[in-house]
Chain A
Amino acid sequence: MKTVQTSASSTYSASPVQQQVVRSLKKRHRQEKLFRFAGMTAVGISLLLVALLFINIFSKGLPAFWQHGIELEIHFDPAVVKISEQPVLQAGESPQAFEQRHLAWRSEVGMVNFNRLIQDALLKVIPDGAQHRRDLARIVTSGERFALRDRVIANPAIIGQTQKLFLLTDANIDVWLKGNIDRSLPDEKQQLSPKMREWVESLKAEGVIQNRFSWALFMNPDSRSSLASAGLAGAFMGSLYMMLIVILLAVPMGVAAAIYLEEFAPKNKFTDLVEVNINNLAAVPSIVFGLLGASIFIGWFNLPMSAPFVGGLVLSLMTLPTVIIATRSTLKAIPPSIRQAALGLGASKTQAVFHHVLPLAIPGILTGAIIGVAQALGESAPLLLIGMKSFVASVPSSAMEQSTALPVQIYLWQGNELRNFFEARTSAAIIVLLGLMLTLNGLAIWLRRRFEVRW
């Protein structure tokens, strides 16, 4: 400090202002360095946290995309599968009557003991299985008997044939083979009996039990009676229905509201009030929309609980302000010269907006809409309040049927009591959800890059 001052004053006589500048220089440099350092640390820490999150989720979740199953020669023994002929539509029969007969036939097929087929096939690969029937019955997950039933219903001609099928093993076998349970624990702490562990190990070595890509995770709905076959199909369809409703409701309504407010509405106290309220609405916590949905849509309108339709309505309310704000800022960014040129050539106000301004604003509107939809896709809090956290074991076939959603499915799996299996399954579900969100956001970025016009 001293040296700077003396050298400065010795070479030329500086004014008091210059002296002050020189004196404060070091301090200002220090402050700048400090700020840069703080900024870099902030970036570093946030990157580290994101990396930690991803490493944690991916290291747990990626193995769950592969799952152990057993390859068995299933003989559809006519002695076990004793069913009558599949009904065919007869001339002059009404569709309802045929449907009744078909239903009765399906119930009859449902009565067949398909476990017997699985056990017979298992006995061929496990010679000493007959002495340990109880253990034998636990090898293939219980839901696979319905897979066999569905095969027979789809094609009764397979009765009498032998088919090589890949059936999922019990969740605890998958846990054991993946090492998700401490193998050194004593027998009474293990989920599998010593006999089962011995079989499983040797079958795995022989290649009868294999770790294959888990289609069940994507093709099956949730399951609790057969944990190994629990999948995301039901939740995915539920989320899809809700997204469709959000796109159909929130996007057109939001865009129309924004166009009116931005291009047509008079600027007065009332529109100011509307604008302030829209901005406030965007800041309302999502759980509040859930309460609103539960009391209005379910309480007053008597809409069913757990239905994606109600979920879609609630999420639309939540997404609406996002869409309005994004659309308005896009419209604001279109230069006035476009409107003026159109008006100058004799276009009406509506023509100017819809023929000239709106087409230029489309990329921005789409981006806003997609980001709003992605936000809605990841939302879970309001859905819990309208009953969408229920266990649903079927894939919904319409938006009025009970369903869950992807983020809620994550919540449900997180609460499943078989922790060893579902910790990985939950992380896999998170990866699927993250993948969808990234795809949507990527689409938004691509649209913006591709179509955006810079002024």
Chain B
Amino acid sequence: MKIKNLTKLVLATAVSLSFAAQAQATRDTIQIAGSSTVLPFSSIAAEEFGNSFAQFKTPVVGSGGSGGGLRQFCQGVGTNTIDIANSSRAIRPAELDSCKANGVTEVIEVKIGYDGIVFASRIDAGTFALQPVHVFLAQAAQVPQNGQMVANPYTRWSQIDKSLPDQAILLAIPGSNHGTREVYEEKVILDGCKTLPEVKAMPSADQNNFCLAMRTDGRVVEIAGDYTETLARLQAQKDAVGVFGLSFYESNRDRIKVATVSGIVPTIDNIIAGTYPVSRPLFFYVKGQHIGVIPGLQEYAEFHVSEATSGFGSPLEAAGLIPLADAERAEVLQTIRSKKSL
């Protein structure tokens, strides 16, 4: 009796295993992964999509950073790979090459809107009015002094500039797996660094290496996780200044306050107007070969970009996405409809 039951169980498991092997051939849920900045927007779009189209399932959205998402995206073609990679930066040529090498030949780039990157400190800490060069001087390994390059001597913001608070330097920046990091380096660090006459005098090939070298005495912390981790860092250390997405700041205005950059307050209006310097477009990449295989993939892409989902007054705008201009939106929609690959 007992043995019979046992064999039955084993048989049942074997049967379910073989069913599983068959079931993998079809997948009817869109699978998305990537940037944690895009994740909230993508999740809202996915949920609205699932609720608006009775015939399609709600897409599943994972995180992992822009780099992690694109790596998964480029692993190959097939139902065990993701269909869409979210990214807070444009795909790099090397990533596109690795995609092509793995058979992912059709990569459709979809721009969804813009997002600002802000510097924020704790609500009970000092108020910052930053210039890009201040941030460079706070994080650099070496800084120019009296015509020579010396190891970074600054330990307090007020030593960099009298106008900054007298507060220990502690900078929490996104890790290299985040797309935000690239924008931060390009629009803040490099911009700030290259205003220095000593750097301008360097051969241009050496400039980037010099500017991006970071101090290693623990005053700059790279956060590999999402913005909650940066916020936790600020909560533990009063002096810390963190790098956040504008939409994250908007949800936590009672805990952190933003710094102005080059005198401009980061607001949606200032970013649309282009006066706030640190903003960037957000993207997602669709695997063209999965269109027609995974039901609803193209519909989802169009839905995401549609005026109703991500235009002014839409749920994504309410969540903090800065909408595309009408002409841009029309162009992106055209790209999706014609399946124009990169």
Contacts and interface: CB of A to CB of B under 8 A. Distances in A.
Tell whether A and B belong to one assembly.
yes
Contact of A306 (B3, B36, B44, B62): B62
Interface in B40-71: 40, 43-44, 46-48, 50-55, 57-58, 60-63
Contacts of B2: 354, 358
Contacts of A142: 315
B6 to A, nearest CB: 6
Given A107-B55, A400-B23, A354 B63 contact: no
A252 B228 contact: no
B43 A391 contact: yes
A249 B10 CA distance: 8
Given A301-B21, A354-B2, A417 B228 contact: yes
B60 A402 contact: yes
Contact of B254 (A181, A253, A417): A181
Interface in B241-264: 247-248, 251-255
B192 interface: no
Most buried by B among A182, A224, A306: A224
B180 to A, nearest CB: 14
A304 B21 CA distance: 10
Contact of B252 (A354, A390, A417): A417
A156 B23 CA distance: 36
Nearest to A300: B80
A110 interface: yes
Contacts of B50: 393-394
Interface string B120-139: 00010000000000000000
Chain B: interface size category = 35 or more
A215 B60 CA distance: 24
Interface in A390-429: 390-394, 400-402, 414-420
Given A391-B62, A393-B50, A189 B253 contact: yes
Contact of B63 (A190, A252, A389, A392): A389
Nearest to B316: A225
B51 A146 contact: yes
B13 interface: yes
Interface in B19-36: 20-21, 23-24, 27, 29, 31-33, 36
B225 interface: yes
Nearest to B235: A419
A151 to B, nearest CB: 14
B315 A390 contact: no
Contact of B80 (A188, A248, A302, A390): A302
A110 B58 CA distance: 15
B183 interface: no
A165 interface: no
B24 A302 contact: yes
Contact of B61 (A110, A390, A400): A390
B207 interface: no
Most buried by A among B6, B61, B228, B251: B251
B277 interface: no
B46 to A, nearest CB: 6
A301 B46 contact: no
Given A110-B52, A146-B51, A225 B315 contact: yes
Given A223-B47, A354-B2, A110 B54 contact: yes
B54 A191 contact: no
Given A146-B51, A224-B44, A225-B47, A304 B27 contact: yes
Interface string A158-198: 00000000000000000000000110010011110000000
B58 A400 contact: no
B302 interface: no
Nearest to B2: A354
A394 B58 contact: yes
A303 B22 CA distance: 9
A390 B60 CA distance: 6
B229 to A, nearest CB: 8
B213 interface: no
A391 B36 CA distance: 11
Contacts of B58: 392-394
A339 interface: no
B151 to A, nearest CB: 36
Contacts of A146: 51
Contacts of A181: 254
Contacts of B29: 401-402
Contact of B79 (A304, A387, A390): A304
B54 A417 contact: no
Contacts of A65: none
B46 A391 contact: yes
A103 interface: yes
B76 to A, nearest CB: 10
A53 interface: no
B24 A415 contact: no
A23 B31 CA distance: 77
Nearest to A419: B252
A41 B228 CA distance: 36
Interface string A244-258: 000011001100100
B32 to A, nearest CB: 8
A252 B6 contact: yes
Given A304-B24, A391-B39, A415-B63, 18 more contacts: A110-B54, A182-B254, A188-B253, A189-B254, A191-B253, A225-B48, A225-B319, A253-B10, A302-B78, A304-B80, A305-B80, A389-B63, A391-B61, A394-B50, A394-B58, A417-B252, A418-B252, A419-B255
Top 5 nearest A-B pairs by Cβ distance?
A390-B62, A224-B43, A225-B44, A106-B54, A402-B60
26 contacts: A103-B55, A106-B54, A110-B51, A110-B54, A189-B123, A191-B254, A224-B44, A224-B47, A225-B43, A225-B47, A225-B48, A225-B319, A301-B24, A304-B23, A304-B79, A305-B80, A306-B62, A390-B33, A391-B39, A391-B61, A392-B58, A393-B58, A415-B63, A415-B225, A419-B228, A420-B254
